[in-house]
């Protein structure tokens, strides 16, 4: 095993690319793994970065990606199901196989990215698969570290960009219900920095929940983003039943703008537990969504 080599599955993604970047900044070597790793862009120009093509749904492709690594992290996502690609396959079966392959390869630390609210008993397929995924990963790799971020924002995100664009483009802002769901948006770079630290740390807890510095209702958040953009916003409550109907109708589209699972997620508060270690336990000062929104304003 090479003490300074780390494998990032999903290393070309929104979070994974930043985890790889922080590992490189910290002086480590990084294997950037994805089905199309060439999408890692500038990251792959780094002398200590290596691109490896692997599909976590194909267990035979995993050992080359894990060979000799001191640690590995699963930052692979699936937000929309297709006929073959289900939440269960990616977030449970493949995650379990990946954790088992990491165990066999003698990887010292394995991190599974999950999400706040993951619940094996949830009615929603996505939330349930995330919850079940945590426990099957633990079965395969007992010392695995589970990281649950709240909704993440940052350059190239889906969340804050959608809010900013809706404020800019629509005369009214349709809220999810009354807009009272409490969220704790977290800066993707803070989560990535934390994951890079955890991969190389001598000691890690088994579960972390990462949230930003403030808990805001969705309504407050929209108001603050509008203010940061220097715009007025007219918010209109839209019942969750209407959103569920829209998401069900959108399901038949190849690139659904909103999914049933996204509605299920936004119906529940998404706030880090006070009893689970978070970013501050790793010495990270979480950055605020509105401050970052103002800084990134020109790009949205
Ligand atoms: N974004 C958020 O706000 C948020 C909040 C909480 C938790 N999370 C969790 O954070 C993790 C990362 O999310 P993200 O938003 O960064 O995802 P993302 O931008 O969609 O990136 C996904 C990455 O996974 C790779 N990938 C997908 N399927 C794969 C497969 N079968 N085998 C190998 N690689 C595969 C993709 O590359 P290829 O397509 O080339 O394979 C890409 O590198 C996910 O577990 C997500 O649920 C995200």
Q: Contact, 25 vs 197, CB < 8 A?
A: no
The residue whose C-alpha atom lies closest to atom 45 belonging to ligand 1 is: 77
In a domain, 207, yes or no: yes
In a domain, 101, yes or no: yes
The residue whose C-alpha atom lies closest to atom 28 belonging to ligand 1 is: 76
The CATH number that applies at residue 23 is 3.40.50.720
In a domain, 235, yes or no: no
In a domain, 132, yes or no: yes
Distance 232 CA to ligand 1 centre (A): 34
Q: Which of 61, 76, 95, 110 to mutate to test the pocket of ligand 1 (most atoms within 8 A of CB)?
A: 76
- Structural domain boundaries enclosing 76: 5-152+187-211+272-281
When divided into structural domains, the chain yields a total of 1
Distance 133 CA to ligand 1 centre (A): 14
Q: Which of 7, 11, 34 to mutate to test the pocket of ligand 1 (most atoms within 8 A of CB)?
A: 34
Ligand 1 neighbours (beta carbon < 6 A): 9-16, 34-36, 39, 54-57, 75-77, 113, 115, 149, 151-152, 159
Q: How large is the greatest C-alpha to C-alpha distance in the chain, in angstroms?
A: 57
In a domain, 246, yes or no: no
In a domain, 14, yes or no: yes
User: What is the residue-level pLDDT of the chain in tens, covering all 300 positions?
Assistant: 667 999 999 999 999 999 999 999 999 999 999 999 999 999 999 999 999 999 999 999 999 999 999 999 999 999 999 888 999 999 999 999 999 999 999 999 999 999 999 999 999 999 999 999 999 999 999 999 999 999 999 999 999 999 999 999 999 999 999 999 999 999 999 999 999 999 999 999 999 999 999 999 999 999 999 998 899 999 999 999 999 999 999 888 777 788 999 999 999 999 999 999 999 999 999 999 988 877 766 444
In a domain, 133, yes or no: yes
Position 297 scores a pLDDT of 60
Q: Which atom of ligand 1 is nearest to the CA of 94?
A: 31
Position 290 scores a pLDDT of 87
Please state the length of the chain: 300
In a domain, 147, yes or no: yes
């Amino acid at each position: 095993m090479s003490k300074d080599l780390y494998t990032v599955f999903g290393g070309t993604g929104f979070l994974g690319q930043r985890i790889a970047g922080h590992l490189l900044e910290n002086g480590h070597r990084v294997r950037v793994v994805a089905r199309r790793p060439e999408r890692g862009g500038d990251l792959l120009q780094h002398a200590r970065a290596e691109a490896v093509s692997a599909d976590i749904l194909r267990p035979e492709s995993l050992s080359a990606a894990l060979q000799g690594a001191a640690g590995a992290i699963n930052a692979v996502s699936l937000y929309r199901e297709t006929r073959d690609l289900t939440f269960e396959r990616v977030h449970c079966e493949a995650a379990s196989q990946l954790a088992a392959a990491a165990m066999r390869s003698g990887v010292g630390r394995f991190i599974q990215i999950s999400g706040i609210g993951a619940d094996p008993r949830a009615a929603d397929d996505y939330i349930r698969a995330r919850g079940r995924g945590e426990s099957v990963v633990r079965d395969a790799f007992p010392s695995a570290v589970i990281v649950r971020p709240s909704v993440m924002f940052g350059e190239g995100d889906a969340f804050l960009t959608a809010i900013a664009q809706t404020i800019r483009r629509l005369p009214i802002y349709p809220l999810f219900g009354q807009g009272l769901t409490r969220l704790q948006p977290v800066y993707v770079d803070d989560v990535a920095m934390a994951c890079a630290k955890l991969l190389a740390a001598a000691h890690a807890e088994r579960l972390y929940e990462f949230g930003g510095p403030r808990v805001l209702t969705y309504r407050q958040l929209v108001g603050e983003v509008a203010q940061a953009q220097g715009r007025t916003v007219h918010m209109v409550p839209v019942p969750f039943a209407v959103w569920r109907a829209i998401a069900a109708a959108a399901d038949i589209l190849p690139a659904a703008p909103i999914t049933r699972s996204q509605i299920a997620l936004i119906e529940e508060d998404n706030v880090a537990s006070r009893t689970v270690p978070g970013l501050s336990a790793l010495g990270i000062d979480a950055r605020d969504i509105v401050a970052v929104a103002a800084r990134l304003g020109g790009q949205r």
